[in-house]
Each structure stands twice: as C-alpha cells, then as structure tokens.
Amino acid sequence: MKSTTRALIATALVLGVAGSAALPASAAPPAPVSAPAPVSASVQAPNPALEAAIDGLPNDRATAALVRVGGTEGVWRGASGVHDLESDRPADPDGRFRAGSVTKVFTAAVALQLAAEGRLDLDRPARSYLPELIPGRYGKVTVRQLLDHTHGIPAADFAGDTVEEWYTNRFQIHDPRKTVRSATAKKPEFAPGTRQHYLNIGYTITGLLIERVTGDSYEHQVAARVLRPLGLRGTYFPGTDPRIRGPHNHGYQRMTLDDGTTGLRDVSVWGTTDGWAAGDIISTTADLERFTQALFQGRVVRGPLLEEMFTLPKVADFSSGDPAAFSIGLSMKRLGGREVWGKTGGRWGYNAAIASTRDGARTLVYSVNSTDAKGQDMNEVALKLMLATYGMPSA
C-alpha cells in the first residue's frame, strides 16, 4: 500500500485514537505470531476486499478482527484471528473489547441531549458550571469548545513515557478532578476558539459537567439516556475494574519483556480510569453498530443539535495547520467521493472505530486487536477495512 495513502487516512481518520503522545515507530516487523486462523464471514452482500482485509490473522500487526458493515448498500459481517495466542481458538465474533475514544461519541450525545433540555448551554463558559475546578485563566472556554477540541487546555500529566512504564502503572486509579487540575495548572496552548487540538481533557471536563448539571454519575446518565433505550446490553463502563467482563478476545501489545527481548504481552487486564468520559467504554460490534445507526438516524440526538455533530469548526489544526477535522463527538474525511463521519479509539491491545456516510447508506464498525494500538501509524488491518468499505481518500 502506498505510503501517501496510508498517511492521508491515518491523519484524517485516526486522529482520535489516543489523547496522549504516540509511541515511536517500531522496527522491522517480526514473523507472524501464530498460524493464521480462517476468516469467519456472514455475507449477505459479497465483498472480497473486506474478507481480504482481515485474512491471515493473527500476524505481527493484529491478533484478531471483528467487523460489521451495514446500511442500505448491503450487510457484511466477519471475524478473523484468535481468541488468545495460547489456545489458538478462533476469535469470538460477539466478544467485548475496549473501544477507547469512541466513548467520546456517547459523551457528546449526552451533552447534546442536556443542551436540548436547556440544562447545559453550549455557549456558556464551562467555569460557570465548575467554578471550583476551572481556574480564571480558562474562564472563557465554553462547553462547545470543550466538545470540539478548540478549548486550548493542554493535556494532563500521567506517570510514564514508554509503554513499559505505562504497563507498570496500569492499575493506578486516576481521579478525573485531579486530571483536570493537572491540565488547567498549565498555560493555555492557544486562545479559546482559535485552533483545534484533539485531546482527552475536554471530554474529561464534559463528564464532570454532566454530573454537575444532573446531580448523577456520568456512567448512569449514559446508561439511562443511551445504553438502555437502545438495548446495548453488551456495553458498559468498567470504572476501576481493570478487567473486561464476559467473553472477549485477548489484546496484546508489543513491548520489552522481562527478559529484555521484544515480544507480545497480554494486556487484556489494564485499568482505564485515565480515559474515563473520554475513553473507557467497553462494547461489542453489534452494540456499536446499533448505536451508530440510531445516532445517524437522529434517534439519539434529535433536531438542530444533531447538526452540531456534523459541523466542523472553521479553525486550523494546532499542529499541522490543516483545516479542523473534528466536530462535536465525530471526525470527517472524504472517502470514495463522499463524506464519511465517525470516531476511532485505541486502548493498549485494542483499536476500534465507528463510521458512516451522512445518510447512513454504509456503516462500518470494527474492533482490531492491534499489537501497537497507540502507535504513530494507523493499524494496517484497520486501514484496509476503511479502504475496503469506503474507497480511496478524495480531495
């Protein structure tokens, strides 16, 4: 695959994989980690490109992939790879996984519902809701700017600079208020509303805003407003539990092992309190497909506020200077000559995404058990799935 194509997709669609610095690019890939498992596909609209995209797993890039393509243009479902490298059992197509920053879409949806009810004002300063937490230097940052990443608040500090150090601290519990204080103690990156910088911190604050205006926990509000109404029974928030409850395919991360060699470590058990309202949800492809279709059909956020999710701020990206790629909750890229909106997410050992054309004609949900889920480049399997579903990027 041409490097230019990879770069176009990676910068436009994967900007939401991690809200922290990416790891350095790895050296030449080693041999496949296990014999490839056969692709299990339920095909109602044949798509050889999709089957080819997940063929040959496990390999050095991913150990499993679960895929659902839906919409009026046809349905395709597939699974490949293994449940775990020890047993080599086939991957469970219904298994749960960490969806990472896909959590932000749920958070944004609840915030917009509260805005529709008049309980949260998108253009009101966030400090007016949380005066004891947000200092005066960020007094002009609005709720809308938190949601579309134009707030200018820098990332919070977390212990560790390498995957090995983060692994050592994987059970550390992070309090969202301390996370916000860590970020807001620093100087602004830019004046609110003048640039866009994709980070987790805006959604951590939004989770606290939801709790403040409802007098309820963030998790219960998402469950009551989205999970239960849509029947998303495989989706939940883990809280301080580092495990994935119920059936799930193991996630593996390439790192330096205890004996000094580089290899794959099972990272299925890893705390996610650093992500919270920005990135800790656990789900299934069936649930995320149902959520995506309901969202794009206007059954989660209704009326004019839904358009907030399909409106990009007219500012430049903080790092690249390119036009802003993120709206409230989603991001956009032109693929195959049309707009594709969605959100990616990454936690160690797991990459996930939801995507759809604006009219819902073609939706995509995947979970890829990436061995470098927070690397600089988009996972090769995930990239192939995007191209197979929507086509090449267009200007």
pLDDT of residue 34: 52
Is 149 a member of any domain?
A: yes
CA trace torsion 65, 52, 26, 58 (10° rounding): 50
HSE-CB for 25 with a 13 A CA cutoff: 6
Is 218 a member of any domain?
A: yes
At 37, is the pLDDT very low, low, confident or very high (cuts 50, 70, 90)? low
- Give the chain's domain count: 1
Query: Which residue type is seen at 382?
Result: A
Read off the pLDDT of residues 145-169 as tens digits, 9 standing for 90 and up.
999 999 999 999 998 899 999 999 9
Q: Write out the residue range of the structural domain in which residue 379 sits.
A: 3-390
For residues 88 and 241, the answer to whether their CB atoms sit within 8 Å is no
Is 395 a member of any domain?
A: no
pLDDT of residue 119: 98
Look at the pTM and tell me if it is higher than 0.85: yes
At 35, is the pLDDT very low, low, confident or very high (cuts 50, 70, 90)? low
**Which tokens belong to 330?**
């989603």
For residues 382 and 371, the answer to whether their CB atoms sit within 8 Å is no
Domain of residue 23, CATH code: 3.40.710.10
Is 179 a member of any domain?
A: yes
**Which tokens belong to 380?**
């090769």
Is 138 a member of any domain?
A: yes
pLDDT of residue 43: 53
β-bridge mates for residue 201, sequence order: none
**Which tokens belong to 131?**
């005066």
Mean pLDDT of 252-272: 96
**Which tokens belong to 1?**
């695959």
DSSP state of 305: G
* Letter string b/e over residues 107-125, b meaning 16 or more CB atoms within 10 A of that residue's CB: bbbbbbbbbeeeebebeeb
How wide is the angle at C-alpha 298 spanned by C-alphas 296 and 303, nearest 5°?
Answer: 130
Averaged pLDDT score across all residues of the chain: 90
DSSP string, 111-138: HHHHHHTTSS-TTSBGGGT-TTTS-GGG
Beta pairing, strands 195-196 & 316-317 = parallel
Is 37 a member of any domain?
A: yes
